[in-house]
Chain A
Amino acid sequence: MASPASTVKLHNRSVAPEPEPTPVAYQAWLPYWAVLEADFLQVFSSWVYRSWILVAATMAIGLFIYRWGLYNEAKIIQPASHVITHLLRGILMGSVALVGVIAAGAIAGERGSLADSILSRGISRYQYYLGKWHGRLLAILLGHVLLGALTVGGTRIILHEDVTLEGGMVAIFISGAALAVVVSLGVMMSAMFARPLAAAAGLWVLLYAAGLIFGAMPHSIPTPEWILQKLPFILKGEYTREMVVQVVLYAGGASIGSAIFGMALFARKDL
């Protein structure tokens, strides 16, 4: 076993030297996992994340109660897929704003002496970026799946309405893919700007510009608006495999592309 110093003396204590028989077998990807784990836990305990979950969950529960009351009092039946679409839409829009803030804080939020103490160790900028990116993705997608499951499950169990289980899962999956793009772009912005607020502002400008460009495009590619319009049908189980594959391909491509761009940039940046 190696010892950091054969004689470290401080406060009149000394540590006896130890022999150093074998060289250390470094674990090449351990730094990545360490950053990912730390980032995941950090996001999980942050107030932005908690308020996101809280606000979205409250919205969902509020709507359930309203609809349940409506059903019991007036026997008015609305197709559930409509409600959920509205809900998911609201949750997604609200989520994009908050998730943008969470993602934009990934790297920019650590700038200064904190990032120093991490990046001065045996970790490359690439691994740090990957760890941060995946940490945020994991935390946010986990939150999204929880919220989605709450919404879909609640509707099916409490309101017994026309949402199929499979359709619900696909809807959560597809909207999650869209959210992943937002997270990836946010982390990319986070690597480009020195302050979280500037990164968030940059992300919103980027998303707004993307929205304008998508609006001018034919509906042959799955734009966010197109996905939102399709959600009621997806929830009822009316979707094709190709559609899902296409969304995943586009979302994956956008996410990975932005990450590669962000990493290339971050690797040449001063801290």
Chain B
Amino acid sequence: MAENAADDPVVETVQLTKIYQNRHIALNDVTLKLERGCVLGLLGANGAGKTTLLRLIIGLHRPTAGVAKVFGEEMSPNSAELRRRIGYIPTNPRFPKGMTPISYLDYMAKLFGLPRDVRKPRMGMLLRAVDLLGAGGTQIDTFSNGMTARLAVATSLINDPDLLIWDEPTHGLDPEARRSMLDLIKGLSREKTLIVSSHNLNDIDEVCNHAAVLSHGQLIYSGPLHDLKSRMRRNHFEVDVDGDQKAVTRALATIKALGDVQHVSLEHRRLNLRLQEDAVATATLGQVFQVLSEAKLTLIGIRSVGQQTEEAFLDLVEKEEQRGFTRIYRQAA
């Protein structure tokens, strides 16, 4: 096994393109670099091309054009040595019929060429770590979603990989299982390089330090996560007020007339406030509070309304398309 220079990026794709059956462009010209120790959140709506990208990186697919390099070497379906250093979890992992966690893990460890005196102790340790020691001899067919997810985690760690590629690991999990999955990712991120895909920004937000966003096979953003978040400005607020009903109605009319306010509505004592796309939130909110204060209304509370993540994405995607993603893309690269 060739140990590469430490400064080689762990994953590097150059103009990676995948066209299915000469008809469907699933991934288009994706150039991406992932340094050692990064935790990359791969974001994108369903069908954006996340799985396609990950399968190209692990060598399950062959690129139509471009290359995917892992640890400085080109990945191909026959790159067994490269895959020895990668731990992969597909979306909704499935298991062969009639196997138990012990027999399955042993099989997977053999597929890495791990000798018996390495794989046996590791199996026990991992089963304990994912809390499946008691179920080690039970048929996998009878497992819950959470249990199969934990088994998939153990499987992806059996070869002590340097790079983990997890495709939607929180998909289909109940809140408790999702919680422990995220904690696990946080723990592992201290010593491994990770790529975690999700269509849920909240998950990525919690565990990743880098982000890449795919939309219709295009990479529209790649870079630090906080830069991405600053692009998704919040412009939707709820303001709870107390005071004379007439004064509230009057204030509402005045706020409606403010230039940067796109939409405002009243629901009991709650103002629903949506600012223009390019409004400076602090300035506009300053004006709104001015109006409220002049109307002698009491402020009870203000909240920025969290967009549904799915919605936030589409928003971001739309915005970037309008601005021309090439500019963003060059910046990020």
Report A's interface with B, CB cutoff 8 A. 1-11, 13, 15, 23-31, 33-35, 38, 42, 45, 112-114, 116-127, 267-271
Q: A8–B90 contact, CB under 8 A?
A: no
Q: A125–B159 contact, CB under 8 A?
A: no
Answer whether A34 and B128 are a contact pair too, CB < 8 Å, given A2-B160, A6-B191, A122-B81.
Answer: no
Q: B62–A121 contact, CB under 8 A?
A: no
Number of interface residues of B (CB under 8 A): 56
Q: B150–A31 contact, CB under 8 A?
A: no
* Chain B residue with the shortest CB-CB distance to A6: B191
| Binary per-residue interface labels of chain B (52-65) against chain A in the complex, 1 for a CB within 8 Å, 0 otherwise | 00010011111000
With a cutoff of 8 Å between Cβ atoms, the chain A residues found around residue B258 in the complex are none
In the assembled complex, the Cα of A267 lies from the Cα of B60 at a distance in Å of: 10
A-B pair number, CB within 8 angstroms: 156
Q: Within 8 Å of chain A (Cβ to Cβ): is B318?
A: no
Q: A26–B114 contact, CB under 8 A?
A: yes
Report B's interface with A, CB cutoff 8 A. 1, 55, 58-62, 77-81, 83-84, 86, 88, 90, 92-96, 98, 107-108, 110-115, 118, 121-122, 125-126, 128-131, 150, 153, 155, 157-161, 180, 183-184, 187-188, 190-192
* Chain A residue with the shortest CB-CB distance to B121: A1
Q: A24–B93 contact, CB under 8 A?
A: no
* Chain B residue with the shortest CB-CB distance to A110: B96
Q: B60–A271 contact, CB under 8 A?
A: yes
Closest 6 CB pairs of A and B: A34-B110, A4-B157, A121-B111, A122-B84, A122-B112, A26-B113
Q: A5–B80 contact, CB under 8 A?
A: no
Question: Which of B60, B80, B86 is in CB contact (< 8 Å) with A124?
Answer: B80
Task: State the Cβ distance, B314 to closest chain A Cβ, in Å.
Answer: 28
Q: B77–A268 contact, CB under 8 A?
A: yes
Answer whether A24 and B115 are a contact pair too, CB < 8 Å, given A8-B129, A268-B77.
Answer: yes
Answer whether A13 and B113 are a contact pair too, CB < 8 Å, given A4-B157, A122-B159.
Answer: no
Q: A5–B118 contact, CB under 8 A?
A: no
Answer whether A126 and B78 are a contact pair too, CB < 8 Å, given A10-B180, A271-B61.
Answer: yes
With a cutoff of 8 Å between Cβ atoms, the chain B residues found around residue A26 in the complex are 1, 84, 112-115
21 contacts between A and B (CB under 8 A): A4-B126, A7-B190, A8-B126, A8-B129, A9-B183, A9-B184, A10-B129, A13-B128, A31-B112, A31-B113, A116-B60, A116-B90, A119-B60, A120-B58, A122-B111, A124-B78, A124-B80, A126-B78, A127-B80, A270-B60, A270-B62
Task: State the Cβ distance, A174 to closest chain B Cβ, in Å.
Answer: 35
With a cutoff of 8 Å between Cβ atoms, the chain B residues found around residue A124 in the complex are 77-80
Q: A122–B83 contact, CB under 8 A?
A: yes
Q: B150–A3 contact, CB under 8 A?
A: no
- Of B79, B95, B118, B183, the most chain A CB neighbours within 10 A belong to B118
Answer whether A9 and B84 are a contact pair too, CB < 8 Å, given A26-B1, A267-B77, A270-B60.
Answer: no
* Chain B residue with the shortest CB-CB distance to A11: B131
With a cutoff of 8 Å between Cβ atoms, the chain B residues found around residue A269 in the complex are 62, 77
Task: State the Cβ distance, B9 to closest chain A Cβ, in Å.
Answer: 21
Q: A11-B130, A121-B88 are known contacts; what are 11 more A-B pairs with Cβ within 8 Å?
A: A2-B122, A4-B122, A4-B161, A5-B191, A8-B129, A10-B153, A10-B180, A10-B183, A267-B77, A269-B77, A271-B55
With a cutoff of 8 Å between Cβ atoms, the chain A residues found around residue B192 in the complex are 5
Question: Which of B92, B125, B153, B159 is in CB contact (< 8 Å) with A121?
Answer: B159
Question: Which of A25, A38, A116 is in CB contact (< 8 Å) with B115?
Answer: A25
With a cutoff of 8 Å between Cβ atoms, the chain A residues found around residue B78 in the complex are 124-126, 267
Answer whether A9 and B187 are a contact pair too, CB < 8 Å, given A122-B84, A267-B77, A271-B60.
Answer: yes
Q: A8–B158 contact, CB under 8 A?
A: no
Answer whether A27 and B113 are a contact pair too, CB < 8 Å, given A8-B157, A8-B184, A120-B58.
Answer: yes
Answer whether A28 and B180 are a contact pair too, CB < 8 Å, given A7-B190, A10-B129.
Answer: no
In the assembled complex, the Cα of A119 lies from the Cα of B95 at a distance in Å of: 13
With a cutoff of 8 Å between Cβ atoms, the chain A residues found around residue B1 in the complex are 23, 26
With a cutoff of 8 Å between Cβ atoms, the chain A residues found around residue B188 in the complex are 5, 8
In the assembled complex, the Cα of A120 lies from the Cα of B82 at a distance in Å of: 10
- Of B113, B122, B160, B188, the most chain A CB neighbours within 10 A belong to B113
